[in-house]
C-alpha cells in the first residue's frame, strides 16, 4: 500500500453554532467506559458522526483515536495499518511492535493483533478508539479479528463503532454479557425539543411550534432530512407551504430535498459537485484535474462555509469528503445526467493519483474507468510490494476485476494471481494461469522496460517452476515436484538465498514423502538455512515443525526436542513471539507425553493456547487438537479424545507436507484399543486395506494401524488365528521396509507389536527377543508411552524381560507408566515409588544443573522443582542432593536420560 492518508485519522471538525446539545446521548456514551464496545448503529443521515464528534469535544478525553473507514479498507493489511496509525495519534508509539510485524511479509495478522493488545495493555491512561463508517467493512477476516480485539481489550481501552448496519460481530453475545452499550436510530432521532433547537436556534428559521411539529413528524426526527429541509427553507417566504409539500418515504424526501439544494446552486457549483462526486476524498489540485479547470481549493472552502455536506478531514482545509448520503445522491444525478463522463472522470483521477505516487488509489480509479491498460501497468509494479506487505486480499480483488484476456496477455499478472491464491492454500484457478504463463515463456522473448517489471520478468521462470513443484507435490506427483524444484534452483541466482530456500525445502518434502528421511531432512534443513540467512525468521520457526517431524520418524526424539526448543527460542526473540511459537509448544507437548511427563505435556498445550492464534501456523489448529486427544486418551477421557479428533479433522490443514499420520487412522487405533472394534473394522473397509497390500511410506502408518486392528480382532473373536497370522505377516514386511528406510520410529513400534503378536501365539522367546530389541532402540530416546499404552499384556512382557536378572531402571519406569508398581525387592525398599516427574528431577539432580536451570529444562517453576526435590528426599530417606543421587544410583534409578 502507498503512504497513509492522515486525513482519515482526524476527528471531524465541530460545526460550531449548528449543533444541538444532546445530554441524554452523551450520558449513554459515557457509560460505554464500563463496556468493551459502544455501538452507534443507524442508517445514513442520523447524525452518528456528529454525535461522536461533539461528545469527544465536550468531554475530558485526552487520549482519543479516530479512524474514518471506506471500502478500500477491506484489505486486512490496510485496515490494521490504519487502525494502528489512528491509535498512535492518541498515544505516540503505541502499536509500534504490531506495526513492525505488520510489515513483515510472513507475519500473520493474528500475531499482529496479539502484539497490539499487549501494547495497549501497557498504556497507562484511558483511551477511546472510534471507528467511523464501519459498515464499509465486508471482509470476514477483519470481522473475526475485530471480535478477538473486543474480547481482549484492556479495561482502560474503549472501542466505539459507528455504522449504518450492525457489523458481523458477536453483538448478541456481548449484549448478554453486559459488555455492550448501544445507541440506535430510535435514540438518535431528534426529539421535538431537539428539532426546535436545531431549526430555530442553530439554523435561524423562526418556525412556529406547529411548523416544527409537522416537519419533525414528516421526517420522523431524521437529522439529515431536517438539515436538508432547513437549507431549502432558508430565504423562503412560505415555509408552511414548503413543509406541506413533504410526502413519501425517506428516500423520496432525500432525493427531493437534494434536488431543491442542487437546483438553487449556480451552474459552476453544481457542475463541480456532480463531477467530483466520484472521489472518496477531495483536495484542490485533485478536483482541478477531475473537473478540468482551476479553482478547486476556493470552491471547497466555499462549499464548507455554505454547509453543503462537506466534511473537512484535516485542520488545514486541505482534504475533504462529501457527506456519504449527499455523495450517493450526487453520483445518482451524475449517472442520470452525464453517464458518458463518468469513465473519463475516473481516468483523470487515476492519472492524478499515479503522478502523486498513490498507486492504490490510481488502480481503483483506473479500474472504475475501465482503463485496463493503465490498471494492468500499475498492478505489475505494485505486486512485489503487495506481496511483501501481505496485501494479497486487495491484490486478488484487483486482479479479479480485470478481464481474463488481460491476465492472459500479462504473465506477471497471471503469476501474481497464482501467488495470491496459493498464499492462502487455494489452488482453484491456479492451474489454468500457470499454463498461460508457461505458454508465454515458451514463446518469443517479450519486451522489457527495465526496473521492477523487467526484474520480475527475469525471475518469472523460476517462480513458475516453484509453483509447479508445489502443485505437483500436492497432487502426489513426487517426481514432477522434484523436477520442477530443481529447475527452480537452476534458474535462481547463486546468491539469491530467498529464492533458493523454497525449492530446496520442496525437494526435502518430496524426499520425505518417498520415505527417504535422510535426504528429506538434509534438503529441508538446507532450505531453512537459506531462508534463515535471507532473514525469513518466521519461515525458519515454522520449518522447525517439519524438521522435528522427520527426526521423530527417524526415532530421534532428543533431536526433535532440541529442534523445537531452538525454534521456540528463535520465536521468542521478538515480543510477542513470532508465528510458529505455539506450534513449538505443541510439538514439545507430544514429546513430553511420549516420555510420560503428562504434567509438562499439558503445560505446553496450555501455553500454546495462551499464545493465541497469532502464534499459530495454519496447521497448528489441528495439531494441537490431536495432541490434546492423545493426552485425553492417556488420562482416560475417551469421549473427549474422540470429540477432539472430530474437531481436528474439521480444521485439518497440512499445507505441502505429506500426511503420514492421517487422523482417521489415529481414530481407528483408539477404537481398536478401547473396545470399538466394529468402528475400526469399518475404517479398514473404507480405506480398502489388506495385509497383502504393496507397502509405501505414506501409507505405513495406516498399515501399522491395520496390524493393530487385526491383533485386536484376534483377541476378541478370531479363535482360528487368521487375523493373528495376517498381522504377523504384515508386521514382518513392515519391519523390513522401515529398517531399509532407516525409520527407527516405525521400527520401535513394529517391534512392540511383533512382541505382542508372538505373546498371543504363545511364543515367549520370540516375544522377548522383539521386546528387548525395541527396548535397546527406545531407551536412549526416552520412549515410554509407546510401551505403556499397550497395557497389561506389555506389563507382563516387561516383567518377563527382567525375570532373568534385576530389572533395569528403564524397564521399571515403563512398568510404573503402565500403571503397575513393580514388586521386585529393590523397588520394595521404597515406601512410596517416585513418580515419573520425580524421576526426571532426580536424574537432573545428578547433573551440574542448578535449581533454576532444572526448572527451565523441565518447563516448570522453581517452586515446583523444590517441591519435587522435597518429596524425593522424603521417599529416599535422605536430607541432601548428594545423598539423593547416591541412593538413586543404588536403586538403579539414576542413569543418563
- The rounded distance, in Å, linking the Cα atoms of 791 and 789 is 5
Whole-Å CA distances, 527 to 497, 522, 531, 567, 570? 9, 9, 6, 15, 17
Q: What share of residues in the chain are helix, strand, coil (percent, to 5)? A: 65, 5, 30
378 touches 365 (CB < 8 A): no
| Angstrom distance (rounded) from CA 677 to CA 668 | 8
Output the pLDDT for position 249: 44
- Distance spanning both ends of the chain, measured CA to CA: 53
Domain spans of the chain?
6-188, 192-263, 469-535, 538-655, 656-808, 836-890
Architecture of the 656-808 domain: Alpha Horseshoe (1.25)
Helix (H, G, I), strand (E, B) or coil at 432: helix
353: number of CA atoms within 13 Å, CB side?
25
Sheet of 157-163: strand order equals: 64-68, 127-132, 157-163, 37-41, 180-184
215-236 per-residue burial string, b: 16 or more CB within 10 A, e: under 16 = bbebbebbbbbbbbbbbbbeee
Per-residue pLDDT at 475: 85
Residues paired with residue 322 on neighbouring β-strands, in sequence order? 310
Q: Report the C-alpha gap between 313 and 706 in whole angstroms.
A: 69
Which residue, 281, 304, 313, 327, is CA-closest to 53?
Answer: 313
Tell me the H-state helices in 576-699. 581-594, 598-611, 620-634, 638-650, 663-673, 677-687
pLDDT means over runs of 10, the chain (897 residues):
80 68 85 84 81 82 86 90 94 91 80 92 92 92 93 92 89 86 86 82 78 75 73 71 58 60 80 92 94 92 74 80 76 88 95 92 94 92 68 83 88 86 72 82 58 67 88 90 96 87 95 96 96 84 94 97 95 80 95 95 92 78 94 92 93 85 96 93 96 96 97 78 93 97 97 94 91 95 95 88 71 85 42 75 89 84 84 75 81 64
159: which DSSP letter? Answer: E
So what's the pLDDT on residue 825? Answer: 39
* β-bridge partners, 41: 163, 184
What 3-state class would DSSP assign to 312? strand
Question: What is residue 198's DSSP assignment?
Answer: I
Rounded distance, CA 778 to CA 413, Å?
53
Q: What cell was used for 118?
A: 499487549
In the block, which residue shows the cell 517426481?
A: 479
> One fold for both 656-808 and 836-890?
no
DSSP state of 282: B
Provide CATH code, domain 836-890. 1.10.10.10
Question: Which has the closest alpha carbon to 626: 673, 658, 661?
Answer: 661
CATH topology of domain 6-188: Rossmann fold (3.40.50)
DSSP 197: I
Report the top-level CATH class of 469-535: mainly alpha
The CATH-assigned architecture of domain 538-655 is: Alpha Horseshoe (1.25)
Sign of the dihedral through C-alpha 780, 781, 787, 789: positive
- C-alpha 485/C-alpha 505 separation (Å) is 9
For the record, the C-alpha cell of 354 comes out as 499515479
Backbone angles phi, psi at 826, to 5 degrees: -65, -35
Q: Which helix (H) or strand (E) holds 786?
A: helix 785-788
- Model pTM above 0.95: no
Amino acid at each position: 500500500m502507498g503512504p497513509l492518508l492522515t486525513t482519515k485519522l482526524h476527528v471531524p471538525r465541530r460545526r460550531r453554532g449548528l449543533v444541538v446539545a444532546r445530554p441524554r446521548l452523551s450520558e449513554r456514551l459515557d457509560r460505554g467506559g464500563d463496556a468493551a464496545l459502544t455501538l452507534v448503529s443507524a442508517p445514513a443521515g442520523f447524525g452518528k458522526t456528529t454525535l461522536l464528534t461533539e461528545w469527544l469535544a465536550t468531554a475530558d478525553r485526552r487520549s482519543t483515536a479516530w479512524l474514518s473507514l471506506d471500502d478500500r479498507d477491506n484489505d486486512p493489511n490496510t485496515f490494521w495499518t490504519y487502525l494502528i496509525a489512528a491509535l498512535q495519534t492518541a498515544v505516540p508509539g503505541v502499536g509500534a511492535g504490531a506495526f513492525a510485524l505488520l510489515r513483515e511479509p510472513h507475519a500473520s495478522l493474528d500475531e499482529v493483533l496479539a502484539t497490539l493488545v499487549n501494547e495497549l495493555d501497557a498504556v497507562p491512561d484511558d483511551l477511546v478508539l472510534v471507528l467511523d463508517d464501519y459498515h464499509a467493512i465486508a471482509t470476514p477476516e477483519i470481522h473475526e479479528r475485530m471480535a478477538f480485539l473486543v474480547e481482549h481489550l484492556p479495561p482502560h481501552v474503549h472501542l466505539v463503532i459507528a455504522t449504518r448496519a450492525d457489523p458481523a460481530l458477536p453483538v448478541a453475545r456481548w449484549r448478554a454479557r453486559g459488555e455492550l452499550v448501544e445507541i440506535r436510530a430510535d435514540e438518535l432521532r431528534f426529539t421535538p425539543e431537539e428539532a426546535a433547537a436545531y431549526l430555530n436556534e442553530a439554523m435561524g428559521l423562526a418556525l412556529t411550534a406547529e411548523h416544527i411539529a409537522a416537519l419533525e413528524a414528516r421526517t420522523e426526527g431524521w437529522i439529515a432530512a431536517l438539515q436538508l429541509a432547513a437549507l431549502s427553507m432558508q430565504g423562503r417566504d412560505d415555509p408552511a407551504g414548503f413543509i406541506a409539500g413533504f410526502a413519501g418515504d425517506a428516500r423520496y424526501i432525500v432525493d427531493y430535498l437534494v434536488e431543491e439544494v442542487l437546483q438553487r446552486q449556480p451552474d459552476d457549483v453544481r457542475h463541480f459537485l456532480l463531477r467530483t462526486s466520484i472521489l472518496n476524498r477531495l483536495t484542490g489540485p485533485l478536483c482541478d484535474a477531475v473537473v478540468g479547470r482551476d479553482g478547486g481549493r476556493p470552491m471547497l472552502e466555499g462549499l464548507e462555509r455554505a454547509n453543503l455536506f462537506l466534511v473537512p478531514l484535516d485542520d488545514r482545509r486541505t482534504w475533504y469528503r462529501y457527506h456519504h448520503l449527499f455523495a450517493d445522491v450526487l453520483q445518482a444525478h451524475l449517472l442520470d445526467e452525464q453517464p458518458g463522463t463518468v469513465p473519463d472522470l475516473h481516468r483523470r483521477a487515476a492519472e492524478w493519483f499515479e503522478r502523486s505516487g498513490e498507486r492504490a488509489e490510481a488502480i481503483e480509479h483506473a479500474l472504475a474507468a475501465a482503463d485496463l491498460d493503465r490498471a494492468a501497468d500499475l498492478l505489475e509494479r505494485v505486486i512485489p510490494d503487495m506481496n511483501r506487505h501481505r496485501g494479497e486480499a486487495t491484490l486478488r480483488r484487483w486482479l479479479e476485476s480485470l478481464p481474463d484476456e488481460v491476465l492472459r496477455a500479462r504473465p506477471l499478472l497471471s503469476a501474481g494471481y497464482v501467488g495470491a491464491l496459493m498464499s492462502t492454500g487455494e489452488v482453484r484457478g491456479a492451474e489454468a494461469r500457470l499454463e498461460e504463463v508457461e505458454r508465454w515463456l515458451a514463446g518469443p522473448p517479450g519486451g522489457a522496460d527495465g526496473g521492477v517489471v523487467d526484474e520480475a520478468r527475469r525471475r518469472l521462470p523460476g517462480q513458475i517452476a516453484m509453483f509447479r513443484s508445489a502443485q505437483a507435490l500436492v497432487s502426489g506427483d513426487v517426481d514432477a515436484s522434484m523436477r520442477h524444484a530443481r529447475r527452480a534452483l537452476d534458474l535462481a541466482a547463486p546468491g539469491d538465498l530467498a529464492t533458493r530456500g523454497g525449492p530446496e525445502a520442496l525437494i526435502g518434502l518430496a524426499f520425505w514423502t518417498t520415505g527417504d528421511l535422510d535426504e528429506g531432512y538434509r534438503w529441508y534443513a538446507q532450505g531453512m538455512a537459506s531462508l534463515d540467512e535471507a532473514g525469513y525468521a518466521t519461515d525458519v520457526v515454522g520449518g522447525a515443525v517439519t524438521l522435528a517431524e522427520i527426526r521423530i520418524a527417524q526415532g530421534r526424539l532428543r533431536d526433535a526436542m532440541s529442534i523445537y526448543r531452538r525454534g521456540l527460542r528463535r520465536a521468542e526473540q521478538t515480543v510477542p513471539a513470532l508465528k510458529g511459537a505455539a506450534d513449538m509448544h505443541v510439538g514439545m507437548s507430544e514429546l513430553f507425553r511420549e516420555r510420560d511427563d503428562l504434567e509438562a505435556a499439558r503445560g505446553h498445550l496450555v501455553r500454546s493456547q495462551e499464545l493465541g492464534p497469532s502464534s499459530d501456523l495454519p496447521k497448528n489448529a489441528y495439531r494441537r487438537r490431536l495432541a490434546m486427544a492423545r493426552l485425553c486418551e492417556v488420562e482416560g477421557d475417551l469421549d473427549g479424545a474422540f470429540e477432539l479428533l472430530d474437531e481436528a479433522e474439521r480444521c485439518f490443514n497440512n499445507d505441502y507436507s505429506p500426511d503420514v499420520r492421517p487422523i482417521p487412522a489415529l481414530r481407528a487405533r483408539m477404537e481398536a484399543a478401547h473396545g470399538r472394534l466394529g468402528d475400526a473394522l469399518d475404517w479398514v473397509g473404507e480405506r480398502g486395506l489388506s495385509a497383502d497390500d504393496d507397502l509405501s511410506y505414506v501409507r505405513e502408518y495406516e498399515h501399522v494401524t491395520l496390524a493393530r486392528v487385526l491383533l485386536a480382532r484376534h483377541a476378541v473373536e478370531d479363535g482360528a488365528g487368521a487375523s493373528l497370522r495376517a498381522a504377523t505377516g504384515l508386521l514382518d514386511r513392515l519391519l523390513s521396509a522401515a529398517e531399509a528406510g532407516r525409520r527407527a520410529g516405525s521400527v520401535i513400534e513394529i517391534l512392540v507389536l511383533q512382541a505382542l503378536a508372538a505373546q498371543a501365539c504363545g511364543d515367549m522367546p520370540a516375544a522377548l527377543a522383539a521386546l528387548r530389541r525395541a527396548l535397546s532402540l527406545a531407551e536412549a530416546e526416552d520412549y515410554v508411552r509407546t510401551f505403556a499404552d499397550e497395557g497389561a499384556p506389555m506389563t507382563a512382557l516387561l516383567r518377563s524381560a527382567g525375570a532373568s536378572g534385576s530389572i533395569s531402571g528403564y524397564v521399571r519406569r515403563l512398568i510404573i507408566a503402565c500403571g503397575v508398581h513393580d514388586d521386585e525387592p529393590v523397588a520394595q525398599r521404597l515406601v512410596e515409588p517416585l513418580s515419573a516427574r520425580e524421576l526426571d528431577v532426580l536424574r537432573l539432580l545428578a547433573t551440574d544443573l542448578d535449581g533454576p536451570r532444572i526448572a527451565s529444562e523441565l518447563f516448570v517453576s522453581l517452586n515446583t522443582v523444590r517441591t519435587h526435590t522435597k518429596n524425593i528426599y522424603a521417599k529416599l530417606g535422605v536430607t541432601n542432593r548428594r545423598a539423593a543421587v547416591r541412593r538413586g544410583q543404588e536403586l538403579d534409578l539414576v542413569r543418563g536420560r
